[in-house]
Amino acid sequence: MTTNALLLANLGSPDSPHVPDVKRYLNQFLMDPYVVDLPWPLRRLLVSLVLIKRPAASAEAYESIWWDDGSPLIVLSRRLQEAVRPLWRHGPVELCMRYGEPSVESVLKRLASQGIREVTYAPLYPQFADSTTTTAIVEARRVIEAHQLPLTLKILPPFYDRPEYQAALAASVEPYLEEPYDHLLLSFHGLPERHIRKLVKDRSHDLRAPDSSKVSAKALAVCYRSQCQRTAELVARRLGIPDGKWSVSFQSRLGKDKWIEPYTEARLDELAKAGVKRLLVMCPAFVADCIETLEEIGDRGREQFIEAGGRELVLIPCVNDNPAWAQALVELCEEVAELPPQPIEQPKMPA
d(CA 222, CA 207): 12
SS (HEC) of 57-114:
HHHHHHHHHCECCECHHHHHHHHHHHHHHHHCCCCCEEEEEEECCCEHHHHHHHHHHC
The per-residue pLDDT for 343 is: 59
CATH classification code of 161-313: 3.40.50.1400
**Fold type of domain 2-157+321-336:** Rossmann fold (3.40.50)
Residue 118 pairs in a beta bridge with: 4, 152
Q: Taking the model in full, what pTM does it have?
A: 0.94
| Domains 2-157+321-336 and 161-313 in one fold | yes
Give pLDDT, residue 256: 78
d(CA 324, CA 326): 6
pLDDT (0 to 100) of residue 105: 98
Report pLDDT for 134: 98
Buried b (16+ CB within 10 A) or exposed e, 72-105: bbbbbbbebbebbeebbebbbbbbbbbbbebbbb
**CA distances to 22, 48, 58, 59, 289 from 53, in Å:** 11, 10, 9, 10, 25
CA–CA separation, 326 vs 107, rounded Å? Answer: 21
CA distance 217 to 226: 10
- Segment 94-108, tens digit of pLDDT: 999 999 999 999 999
153 φ, ψ (degrees, to nearest 5): -105, 140
Hey, which residues does 154 pair with through a beta bridge?
120
Whole-angstrom distance, CA of residue 165 vs CA of residue 290: 19
Nearest to 187 by CA among 273, 126, 267, 73: 267
Contact 142, 175 (CB under 8 A): no
List of the chain residues with pLDDT < 70: 1-2, 341-351
| pLDDT value of position 218 | 92
**In this predicted structure, what is the pLDDT of residue 8?**
98
Q: Domain coordinates of the chain in residue numbers?
A: 2-157+321-336, 161-313
Q: What is the model's pLDDT at position 339?
A: 84
Residue type, 117: R
* Residue 195 assigned to a binding site: no
Backbone CA torsion sign across 271, 272, 276, 278: positive
Residue 205 marked ligand-binding: no
